[in-house]
Structure formats: C-alpha cells, structure tokens
Chain A
Amino acid sequence: MKKRLFCLTTLLFSAVCLSACGSSSNGETLTVLNYGKYFDSDALKMFEEETGITVEYEEYESPEEMYTKYKAGSIDYDLLCTSDYMIEKLIDEGEVQKMDYTKIPEYKNIDQNIIDSSASFDPDHTYTLPYFYGTVGILYNTDEVDASEVDTWNVLWDSKYEGKIIMENSVRDCFLVPLKQLGYSLNTTNPDELDEALDMLLDQKPLIYAYFVDETGDEMAAGNASLAVVYSGEAAYAQSLSDKLEYSVPKEGSNLWIDSWFIPKTCKNTENAEKFLNFLCREDIAKMNFDYVYYATPNTAVYDNLDEETKNDTTIFPDKETLDNCEVYVSLDEEGTNLYNQLWKTLKSD
C-alpha cells in the first residue's frame, strides 16, 4: 500500500507529466490524486496521446495526508485513489459520487471476489473501482526463523527474538496483531477487547527492535531484525532486495486492504474520469501497472495471463484460504478513533 516514495522519482515523474502536457492538449484536463509510485508514467503518457486529455497527476503518501489535501479544497480533483477505510469515511461525509459502471466497459475484468470484499466500505458497490489489494503479514529472515513458527502471530511474543522484531508504527496495523491473536475482530471498538490487546502489546514492547512503517523493508533486507509485521507490498519490495526473506500470513487471520478509485464531488468532468477508469482497467494498461507496482491486481484479464510462478507467489497473491481469514478495515466513528489513539499513546509512552 505504501511503497517508498523517493522525492527524486516524484520530481522526475512530475517533470515527465509537465513535458507531456505541452504536446497533445485540446484544452481538456483531468486532475488525478494517487499514492506515490502507484501508476506507470508511460501508461499516463499513452492515455494523453490516445484521448488528447491532459492529466494533472498528483501524489501523496498516507491516506490521512490525502484527506487533508482533498479537504483543503484548493484543487478540484476529478479522480482519487485511496484505501478502504478512508473511502468509507469520505462516502459517509457525502464526498463521493456514484459511479456509472455501464460507461466503463472494461470494468468486466475486475475480480468479483474483490468486489464482494469491498462491500465492507462500499456496501452496494456503487462508488468504487478496486485497483490493487493485499494483506498484512509477517516478513521473516529464513536464516534465523523457521517457516513452521510463523504460521501464528504468537511468534512475535517469543522471547528468543528479543530485540529482533519490528512492529507497524501505525495504530490499526499494530493493534490488528493482538486482536486477531485473541480471536477478536480488527474493527472492534469494545474497550475490554482493546484493553486486552493493549496489555499484550505492552508485554511485547521489551522485545521490539523498533516501530517502523516505510523503513521496514530496508531494515529487514539489511538484516537488522528477524521478524517484521508488514504490508504484502512492502514485503515484495524487501524480497527484491534480499533472497533470505519470506512472507507469511498467520492462520489467525489478518487485514485485507483494498485500494480503490472513486470520483469525488469536486469532479468537473465525469466523462473524462470514466474514460480514465476504463483505460486503467484495460488489460494492457493494468498489466503495465501491475509490473510497475507489483501488488495483487484484481484484474482477471491480467491475472489469467501471468506465468505460473507469479500466480503462485503467495506474497503477491494471497490464496483463497488466507483471504477468507482476512478482514477489511471499516472506518471508526469519532469515539472509536479517539479510543484507539489513546491506547496508542499509552503503548508508546510506556
């Protein structure tokens, strides 16, 4: 979900976009806001050449940053891509337009299973179009950890890995671990269940090397820790740096995250937005983006034509059994958010 965002790449990328603007403009523009490094710039150029629409492409790093940017209201975005719980929050606030799927013929490529899973944040599936998805699991160093140990979150409480464990430095991804191990929902707002989870995390704290988000991949590749809780995307990135790393989603279950596109209220030209959505669902473009991003794609046309090795790579594509065990985040109400934040501060200040 959150790939490393290198400023330089972004700069180069925006330079490419800007230079592309000059060539094929007929005055029509489309303003897109997406995660950093989440769309192949060549595909963007192709879209501009094919349609004559100029794309003003902007990037952000975290859903919270996106929310602040969007809410500031200084730019009218036509199309946005972000994560499940943040979309739900925006739908609740009435910021999202209904999507007319009949205008997006290539939508037929999208996997029905992922559409069904999206129901937790878009119940009637009228607002969103899934882009990439993945899980949260344990990335481990095969030199130090045996594969048989990591089928349970319990390994993260094993004192023999003292000072060798990295946890997620974001509240919900951190709490999902004890919640799932206790057999609770990762969307719980029950104070008793959350207190239990907090106690477990406090017990675990002395064993922790650090709480990281974006650094995790590099730290694991450098061998500074043996076990880490990560997004599957970050795991794939780390594996590309080191061949000693493996990824596993514990049997107690985990989080399934789905990043989706939606058309916000600020959209001026729905037709262009639909053209863009149709374009990115097309097999060749979805394949380009899959090769660029390397997260699990819900595009069945792309998936069916992949080689067996990639299809069976469970780091990228979680198997059916794992997915059934996973829950999608739903957005918390204000009370729930405050409770989580309070517990988070308690954990961190200990």
Chain B
Amino acid sequence: MNRFKREFLTGPYIVWIIGFIVLPILMIVYYGVTDSSNSFTLANIIAIAEPIHMKALLLSLKLALVCTVICLLLSYPLAMILNSMKFKHQNFIVFIFVLPMWMNFMLRILAWQLLLSNNGILNTVLETLHLPQFQFLNTPSAVVFGMVYDFLPFMILPLYNSMSKISADVIDAARDLGANQLQVFIKIIMPLTISGVLSGIIMVFVPALTSFVISNLLGGGKVLLIGNVIEQEFMQNMDWHMGSGLSIVLMIFVIASMAFMNSHNKDGEGTAVW
C-alpha cells in the first residue's frame, strides 16, 4: 500500500479525534478560563480551593483509593489462581469475569439499588432468616462497593495478562536454586507483574476518581464527589465556566496519576497513555 492510501485510511479516525476529543477539550479549556462576560479569569480553576470543592475532591480521592486497593487485593490472588489453572479452564473463568461487562454498567448499578434498598431483596432474605436487617445503600461504602463491582475486570485482566507471560522456566529455575514459595513470590512473581499492577491501578483509579453516576445512584444524593459538583454546575446551576474550570482541575489529577504510574512502569505494558 502506498503512503497516500495509508494516510487516507486514517482520515475517519482523525475526523473522530478532532470532533469528539480535541474540540471538546479545547472548549472546556476555553470555558474554564473565561467568565460569563467572556473575559479571561483563573477564578474557576482557583475555585477548587473552596472548602466545599476541596472536601468533594478529597472524598473522591479517598473513595477512588479505597476502591483501587480493594480491587488489587481481590484481583491479585485471583489472577494467580487463574494462572495456575489448566488452559481450557482459564479461558472459561476469564470469560465469566468479562461477561458482566457485556451489560450496560448503569443497568447493573440500578440492579444493585434494587437489591440493597431497605425493602430490597437482600434485606427480605435476611428477614426470612430472622437475621438483623442492615442499611447499606446511600452510604459512601455502597458507592465504593459499586465502583469495585464495576471496575474489577479492569484490574483482573492486566494482572492475569502479565502473570501468564511469566515463563514456567523462570519459576523452576528459582526453585532449583533453592528459593522457597515465599521467595519465589517476592523475588520473581511480584517484580515481573509490577507493570500489570500499575496498568490495573490506572484503569481502576481514573474512572473511580471521575465517576459521578455511581455516587448518584448508590449514594442517594448524600455522597458528593467532585464529579457530582461538576455535573451540578453544568446541569442545575447553568454555570458552564465553573464546571469547566473544575473539570480542568480533575483532568490535571487524572493526567498526574497516569504520569506517575507510567514513570514507574519501565516495560510499557498495557495502557501506554503517553
């Protein structure tokens, strides 16, 4: 294929990237640094320092962090178990974990809303078993739960991927040289999967940090994340400038966390955002 043809084929993608990624970002930046009379201002960005916005941002960071740690703790052993299975079982189990992703994530969160509500299925079952009922919905824990449920596959897949790449010979060699189970894990498996861990962390942390729908649905309007503040500025307050300013701050956090992870990720496994 000649050069011209190859460039021609990228055309649709270029149009897509300009229309739906570059232009919207430019518009956000424009709105973010102007006020309602269209003159330049940094007030919308500095507004993040207001106690209310700071509180929302810190809560978002906290919940996203907790969610990431839980996902990691759940996924790592799972990926190891998966990796030690026979080949045909592996594919089936991976399939099971990816299966829920075929369904719209909002619908799955709505289903949890029904399951967890005061008179929901879970509490009805507890009642029939004469166990105490509990109110879990509309708390920060419920929001973290929803995030973990939604983003867990994004942690499992890169971990499993990096683990399956470790050659059995490497582990056998370590054993031959007298390493015990723990030493194999710490000296061989952990360093060789670090790139998968880092990809997984980014793929869970970033969507968890920016989410607002999960906190709306499982937080009952009581858990205000920075994403909710931005949504409110756009939809209720009609202050697109403030909403954009706060979005820029959030973008900086997202990019910073990606840059941090990538600088520690020598192999360039998985995400490669830079």
B222 lies within 8 A of A349 (CB): no
Q: Contacting B236 at CB < 8 Å: which of A210, A222, A341? A: A341
Q: Contacting B117 at CB < 8 Å: which of A67, A219, A337? A: A219
A210 contact set on B, CB distance < 8 A: 137-138, 220-222
A64 lies within 8 A of B238 (CB): yes
Contacts A64-B236, A341-B237; A349 near B52 (Cβ below 8 A): yes
Expressed in whole angstroms, the Cα–Cα distance for A250 and B224 within the complex equals 30
B119 lies within 8 A of A223 (CB): yes
A-binding residues in B (CB < 8 A)? 52-53, 55-56, 59, 117-120, 135, 137-138, 220-222, 224, 228-229, 232, 235-239
Q: Contacting A163 at CB < 8 Å: which of B59, B118, B236, B238? A: B118
A211 lies within 8 A of B222 (CB): yes
B59 contact set on A, CB distance < 8 A: 349
A312 contact set on B, CB distance < 8 A: none
A287 contacts the other chain (Cβ, under 8 Å)? Answer: no
Nearest CB on B from A170, distance (A): 7
Residues of A in contact, count (CB < 8 Å)? 27
B238 lies within 8 A of A68 (CB): yes
Subset of 12 A-B contacts with CB under 8 Å: A68-B238, A164-B118, A211-B220, A212-B221, A223-B119, A224-B117, A224-B119, A224-B120, A345-B224, A345-B229, A348-B224, A349-B59
Contacts A346-B52, A349-B55, A349-B56; A223 near B118 (Cβ below 8 A): yes
Q: Contacting B222 at CB < 8 Å: which of A208, A219, A222, A225? A: A208
Expressed in whole angstroms, the Cα–Cα distance for A311 and B119 within the complex equals 34
A342 contact set on B, CB distance < 8 A: 52
Q: Contacting A171 at CB < 8 Å: which of B52, B228, B236? A: B236
Determine the residue in chain A with the shortest Cβ distance to B218.
A210
Expressed in whole angstroms, the Cα–Cα distance for A348 and B237 within the complex equals 15
A37 contacts the other chain (Cβ, under 8 Å)? Answer: no
Expressed in whole angstroms, the Cα–Cα distance for A225 and B220 within the complex equals 12
Contacts A209-B138, A211-B220; A64 near B235 (Cβ below 8 A): yes
